[in-house]
Amino acid sequence: MSSSSPQQDDRHSRFELKTVLETSRMLIESQDMDFVLNNLLLITMGKLMVSRGMILIYQPGSEKYLVSKSKGRKAPDEGTHLSFEWDQEVKEQSVIQCGIDDFEMPELIDGDPHCTFFNLRTSNNHIGFLVLGSKGNKQALSEHEIEFVESLSIISSVAIANSRMFSELRRINRMLDRKVYELNTLFDLSKDFNIMVDRDEIVRIFKFAMLGQMLIRKFFFVMENEGKREFLATSGIKGQLSQESLDILFGLEDDLYEVDNELAEKIPFLKKNEIKALIGLQFQSEKIALVGVGARANEETYSESDYNFLRSLGNLAVLSIQKTYLLEERIEKERMEEELNIAKDIQKGLLPDPIPQCDKLDIAAENISSYQVGGDYFDILETPDQHLLFAIGDVTGKGIPAALLMANLQAMLHVLLPVDISLSEASGQVNDIIYQNTPSDKFITFFWGIFNPDNSEFRFVNAGHNNPILLRKNEEQVEELTEGGLILGAMPTMNPYEEQKVTLNSGDLLVFYTDGVTESMNEDETEEFGEERLLDCIKANREQSAEEIQDAIITAVQEFSHDVQYDDITLIIIKVN
């Protein structure tokens, strides 16, 4: 057999190059994946005189391969899903010749163990394989033929990726067009709802949207107000839901529930009216309304987008209807909020501003209320003899009642300040006044003390308050200021409050705090911040200024509780210079 001449090989190579270039232009310009796959298979089979072949497309979600194109006898049918147990190395091989290369590959075409797998992939992703059966002369593919098919495979992989991208873009554009239409509809409806205060008119617009926009002929809309559930709108519905059935439907955990046979058998009303889905609507995290929908008039199934639209439409109606119920309550609330803001400003004015200073002390203090007005209290006062009085307290309860009691306590301290009596005697008088003039469930944990700058002596009384922390310079062990007596207001003064004193030295640190610090809860509400974390924070920042120590404690508490605050936080930090 004579071999071909160099001139023939050169013409053959130019012909193949022209074929590759023309094919690449045709495939890359196409945005139809089916066209790309079909031409890739037919061109390669025709060029190599192969009678059987297929294209396998990788399905990442299922780790299977779809037979997308198949030609020839005994090849798998198109649409078949195949599963293979091969490793990542197979997906990375450019070409695998069964029976020649060192890979165990499946016999995809019955009676043909010598198929060739051409990897279809981009630089980032494995797309699948072009699988060609044996040539008609049973000879293996030549190096030249493999290079030709590889070139087409590379070009086709790019074309497949492009067609996928264009298909996804078309799908996204269609979805966006629909979303824009739905958003415009919701926007128009929200404008209508916002100007309405007539509940019947709101329900009428809702019903029109269900019938006209969503083409739903059978639906019901139930809403709960003050413990009573009422049908506000229905269409094509026969019969009534019993209270027992409503309890079951409102008790469903999921806000979207597609009606199954079990629920339809339990509640025949749903089966009788061919209700397909139930959509729960919430207000302030509580399910207060329910929409049940039947099949659409155009027989289209409900998509996730449809359910989202229905939920949004229902929420608009619920909010507008709730608005009619809450209109008077809102006016009353606004009036109360105005009064609370005034009370907050008044309470803020009762706290020391600016904080008195002393050459021997570095002082910082802060109060963060959990409500607009709170029950925590602190004060720093200069006595007539130029001593400094420090006070911190926590009134039971929250809001205005606690704030009023706190204001009374502050007034008593200011009245007693110029009076020449001991802390012990003054504590007893304050306790008796609070006990006699407040309800039995109101009392105050309270700590106060006076610092004498002449001898650095600190005299104090602790009336059931969180023990202030005294951390001496260069010491790890802390002292707690515990001496005093009962909380204020719990009972008449039977025994005098015990007054104690400590001498403060340079570098010593005093921390007063309320239980809003140590009882702050973590995000899961399973653990408190606690005294140990507070002590760790104080020790870690003991070399800082009083204000920096204060800021570090507040930051640690807020990070621990994820900025969720259930109680007032009050701190006084005293660092001896």
| Res. 541 pLDDT band, cuts 50 70 90 | very high
Percent of the chain at pLDDT exceeding 70 = 92
pLDDT (tens digit per residue) in 493-503: 999 999 999 99
pLDDT (tens digit per residue) in 62-99: 889 999 999 998 889 999 999 988 878 888 889 999 88
Q: What is the DSSP string of 292-337?
A: EEE-BTT-PPPPHHHHHHHHHHHHHHHHHHHHHHHHHHHHHHHHHH
Fold held by 351-576:
Phosphatase 2c; domain 1 (3.60.40)
**Averaged pLDDT, 267-293:** 90
What count of other Cβ atoms lies within 10 Å of the Cβ of residue 56? 25
Q: Nearest Cα to 48, choosing from 129, 142, 120?
A: 142
- Who's near 556: CB < 8 A, 6+ residues apart? 529, 533, 537
Spatial distance between the Cα atoms of 16 and 6, rounded to a whole number of angstroms: 15
- CB-based contact 46:145 (threshold 8 Å): no
pLDDT surpasses 60 at 375:
yes
pLDDT surpasses 60 at 317:
yes
| Res. 326 pLDDT band, cuts 50 70 90 | confident
- CB-based contact 446:391 (threshold 8 Å): yes
Architecture of domain 6-167: 2-Layer Sandwich (3.30)
**Where is pLDDT greater, at 339 or 78?**
78
**Averaged pLDDT, 157-177:** 78
Same fold, 196-327 and 351-576: no
| Res. 364 pLDDT band, cuts 50 70 90 | very high
pLDDT (tens digit per residue) in 92-138: 889 999 888 888 888 888 888 889 999 999 888 899 999 999 887 77
What count of other Cβ atoms lies within 10 Å of the Cβ of residue 186? 18
pLDDT (tens digit per residue) in 178-217: 666 666 777 777 777 777 777 888 888 888 888 877 889 8
Instruction: Locate the domains of the chain by residue range.
Output: 6-167, 196-327, 351-576
pLDDT (tens digit per residue) in 250-266: 989 888 999 999 999 99
The reported pLDDT for the residue numbered 371 is: 65
The mean pLDDT of the chain is 86
pLDDT surpasses 50 at 492:
yes
Residue 566 tokens read as 């259930």
Fold held by 196-327:
Beta-Lactamase (3.30.450)
